[in-house]
């Protein structure tokens, strides 16, 4: 009634599941063992690190602090100015405290008896070195007893430094030797674990081979008939009768699939023959050269683009070895590549190209991209070779490389410039400003009217120079130092800018229509409005200053406008005002750096926008700028700010 359940009676799927399950379980077991062993080895190496590497770094640190301390005493005696003595004695005391702290951390680590003995010797020598040498020397220096300090250096510090240095050197050497010994022990343990793991893998592979052979043997006979029929179909015998067994197991399903494949092939062959002409027409119209070659590299077919690229007609190409399309050095390399391509499946990547040098009929050389693809389904091995003339691309790449090198050089120069401005210029400027403020505060009553005016001009021009440097730094950072663009509501930005500027009561700022939200760096949009509004207020020549801000949509951009009722700008100055350091009013009358509008122009153009000015002298000026619509926006309500 029931059949005996054996491996042979199982379906192919069940056999495969059983075999794979066994192998997976075995490999998982081996993997767990390997992971446990590797984890143990890692723990051992970590122990070596904590026991040896950290103490070694601590001892090395103490050694460097000892040397710094001795050099500090010596340098204070070489140049015994009050400031140097104060700095160097403070360094000595700090280093003594740091040595004590580091030594306390070191002494609690795992030390061998020999290390403990050396540590005790170092502690005694160092204690004597500090109490009899360093501390008296620092006290003498602070009391400005240079001779006494020099005597202590010669009679105490130098002789006492020798045993201290020898003790710490001995500790360093001992730590290195102990670390090497413990590392070698862990390395041997790791190699043992690795050997066990390799042996386990070999056993697993042997078992996998055994089970695979059993599996193949169990299913080979049922598949033999399927293979024979499939070969007949592959050979073109599409008229043979294919009987499907009544069983519904995998073999029966496979036989049915073979018959369906045969029927489908009969239909497909007709379709292939019908589309062959279209395919040939497509190849003939390609802009890249296409040739088919055999295993020896002999050209069998070629498309018209080959004549345009190389100068040879199709009749001149057919029968030639493809190597004649390349100069002799490239010919040898191409032959080796084609041979390796046929033997190494890793090179047979569809679409993979190689750059080579081609040889035209007129003996001119030029760069080529070449890709090789095997044509499957042919009676003999055939390959399709696609050749693309990349002369224009190479020229463009060379130009790009030159431009990128120039750009990199310019960026480096800009970084150096920004560093010089921020460090080498502002430091002395701050000192001059502080001195000028001090003179103005403490001695202003001692100056006559002309002196007070000179002091006012000095303070004003120091302030202007500081603003100029800040403006230059802001200008240099645009496009180089970026922050993450976020969605910014322009009306909120405008409120923040107005609060920052804090205009006087005679200034009225009106928002004429709804303002959008855009994706931009918040700092940059603030800089745009801050500079435009500040200029409108700064150059105002009327008792009541009226500023109007508007925005309208123009295609893919927003067009913003900032208008004022100021003195206006003559048209001949429209280009000049956007140039760096250019101002229209004397700087002693209107405090200005000439950087603001240049900065605004650079920011706007960085985002793909544009900026321009319209003005009527005596009536006012309007600045327009555009920014792209990077996100869907929600309009704000109109309002007036004063």
Block means of pLDDT (10 residues each) for the chain, 642 residues, are 51 69 73 67 59 72 80 82 85 85 79 78 80 84 85 83 78 76 75 78 77 67 70 71 64 71 74 68 73 86 84 87 81 70 60 79 87 74 85 85 81 67 64 76 77 76 64 60 78 88 88 89 86 86 90 92 89 79 53 72 89 90 90 38 38
Residue 81's φ and ψ, nearest 5 degrees, are -80, 155
Which of 337, 372, 389 is the last residue in one of the domains?
389
Which DSSP category does 636 fall into?
Answer: P
290 & 306 share domain: yes
Which of 338, 355, 389 is the last residue in one of the domains?
389
24 & 164 share domain: yes
Q: Determine, yes or no, domain membership for 6.
A: no
Q: Determine, yes or no, domain membership for 293.
A: yes
Q: How far apart are CA 485 and CA 620, in angstroms?
A: 33
369 & 269 share domain: no
> In the β-sheet with 382-389, what is the strand arrangement from edge to edge?
299-302, 289-294, 382-389, 365-375, 354-359
pLDDT for res 633: 34
Please report, for the domain that includes residue 160, its CATH number.
1.20.120.30
Written as six digits, the tokens of 453 are 């005016």
146 & 47 share domain: yes
Please report, for the domain that includes residue 321, its CATH number.
3.30.450.20
278 & 291 share domain: no
Whole-angstrom Cα Rg for the chain: 43
Beta-bridged to residue 508, according to DSSP, are 546
547 & 569 share domain: yes
pLDDT for res 2: 45
Q: Determine, yes or no, domain membership for 527.
A: yes
Q: Determine, yes or no, domain membership for 574.
A: yes
pLDDT for res 325: 86
100 & 114 share domain: yes
For residues 293 and 299, is the Cβ–Cβ distance under 8 A?
A: yes
Q: How far apart are CA 126 and CA 333, in angstroms?
A: 70
Q: Which residue segment(s) compose the domain that 314 sits in?
A: 286-389
pLDDT for res 251: 65
Q: Determine, yes or no, domain membership for 508.
A: yes
Q: Determine, yes or no, domain membership for 617.
A: yes
pLDDT for res 625: 94
Q: Determine, yes or no, domain membership for 605.
A: yes
In the block, residue with structure tokens 């040098």:
357
335 & 472 share domain: no
290 & 278 share domain: no
Strand pairing category for 299-302 and 354-359: unpaired
182 & 89 share domain: yes
Which of 411, 446, 477 is the last residue in one of the domains?
477
Q: Determine, yes or no, domain membership for 234.
A: no
Q: How far apart are CA 522 and CA 166, in angstroms?
A: 60
Report in angstroms the alpha-carbon separations of 465 from 417, 530, 581: 16, 19, 12
Strand pairing category for 289-294 and 382-389: antiparallel
Report the interhelical angle of 82-107 vs 113-129 (nearest 10°): 160
74 & 30 share domain: yes
For residues 600 and 488, is the Cβ–Cβ distance under 8 A?
A: no
Counted domains in the chain: 5
pLDDT for res 612: 94
Please report, for the domain that includes residue 608, its CATH number.
3.30.565.10
Strand pairing category for 611-616 and 289-294: unpaired
165 & 255 share domain: no
């Amino acid at each position: 009634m029931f059949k005996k359940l054996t491996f042979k009676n199982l379906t192919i799927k069940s056999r495969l599941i059983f075999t794979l399950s066994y192998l997976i379980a075995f490999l998982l077991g081996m993997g767990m063992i390997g992971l446990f062993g590797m984890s143990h080895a890692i723990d051992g190496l970590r122990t070596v690190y904590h026991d040896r590497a950290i103490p070694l770094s601590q001892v090395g640190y103490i050694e460097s602090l000892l040397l710094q301390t001795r050099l500090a005493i010596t340098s204070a005696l070489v140049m015994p100015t009050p400031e140097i003595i104060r700095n160097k004695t403070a360094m000595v005391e700090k280093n003594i405290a740091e040595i004590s702290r580091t030594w306390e951390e070191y002494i609690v680590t795992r030390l061998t008896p020999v290390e403990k003995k050396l540590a005790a010797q170092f502690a005694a020598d160092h204690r004597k070195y500090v109490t009899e040498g360093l501390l008296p020397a620092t006290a003498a220096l602070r009391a400005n007893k240079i001779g006494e300090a020099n005597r202590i250096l010669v009679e105490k510090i130098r002789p006492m430094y020798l045993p201290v240095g020898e003790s710490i050197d001995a500790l360093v050497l001992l730590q290195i030797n102990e670390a090497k010994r413990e590392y070698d022990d862990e390395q041997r343990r790791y190699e043992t674990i690795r050997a066990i793991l390799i042996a386990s893998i070999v056993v697993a592979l042997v078992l996998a081979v055994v089970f695979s052979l059993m599996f193949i043997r169990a299913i080979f006979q049922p598949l033999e008939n399927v293979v024979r029929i499939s070969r007949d179909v592959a050979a073109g015998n599409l008229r043979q009768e294919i009987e499907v067994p009544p069983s519904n197991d995998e073999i029966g399903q496979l036989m049915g699939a073979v018959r369906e494949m045969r029927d489908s092939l009969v239909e497909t062959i007709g379709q292939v023959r019908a589309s062959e002409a279209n395919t040939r027409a497509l190849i003939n119209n390609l802009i890249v050269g296409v040739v088919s070659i055999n295993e020896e590299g002999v050209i069998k077919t070629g498309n018209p683009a080959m004549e345009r690229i190389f100068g040879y007609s199709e009749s001149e190409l057919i029968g030639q070895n493809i190597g004649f399309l390349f100069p002799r050095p490239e010919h040898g390399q191409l032959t080796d590549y084609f041979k390796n391509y046929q033997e190494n499946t890793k090179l047979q990547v569809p679409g993979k190209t190689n750059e080579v040098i081609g040889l035209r009929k007129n003996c001119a050389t030029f760069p080529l991209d070449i890709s090789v693809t095997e044509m499957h389904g042919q009676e003999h091995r055939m390959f399709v070779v696609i050749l693309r003339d990349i002369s224009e691309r190479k020229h463009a790449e060379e130009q790009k490389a030159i431009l990128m090198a120039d750009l990199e050089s310019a960026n480096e120069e800009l970084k150096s410039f920004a560093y010089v401005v921020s460090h080498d210029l502002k430091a002395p400027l701050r000192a001059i400003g502080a001195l000028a403020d001090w003179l103005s505060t403490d001695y202003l009553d001692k100056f006559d009217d002309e002196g007070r005016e000179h002091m006012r001009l000095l303070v004003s021009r120091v302030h202007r120079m500081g603003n100029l440097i800040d403006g230059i730094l802001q200008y240099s950072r645009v496009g180089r130092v970026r922050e993450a663009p976020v969605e910014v509501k322009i009306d909120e930005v405008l409120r923040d800018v107005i609060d920052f500027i804090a205009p006087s009561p005679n200034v009225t700022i009106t928002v004429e229509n709804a303002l959008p939200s855009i994706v931009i760096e918040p700092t940059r949009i603030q800089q745009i409005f801050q500079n435009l509004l500040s200029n409108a207020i700064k150059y105002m020549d009327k008792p009541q200053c009226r500023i109007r801000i508007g925005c309208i949509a123009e295609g893919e951009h927003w067009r913003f406008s900032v208008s004022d009722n100021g003195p206006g700008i003559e048209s001949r100055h429209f280009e000049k005002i956007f140039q760096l350091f250019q101002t229209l009013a004397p700087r002693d009358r209107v405090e200005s750096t000439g950087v603001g509008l240049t900065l605004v122009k650079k920011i706007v153009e960085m985002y793909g926008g544009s900026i321009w000015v319209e003005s009527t002298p005596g009536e006012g000026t309007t600045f327009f700028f555009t920014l792209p619509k990077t996100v869907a926006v929600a309009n704000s309500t109109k309002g007036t700010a004063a």
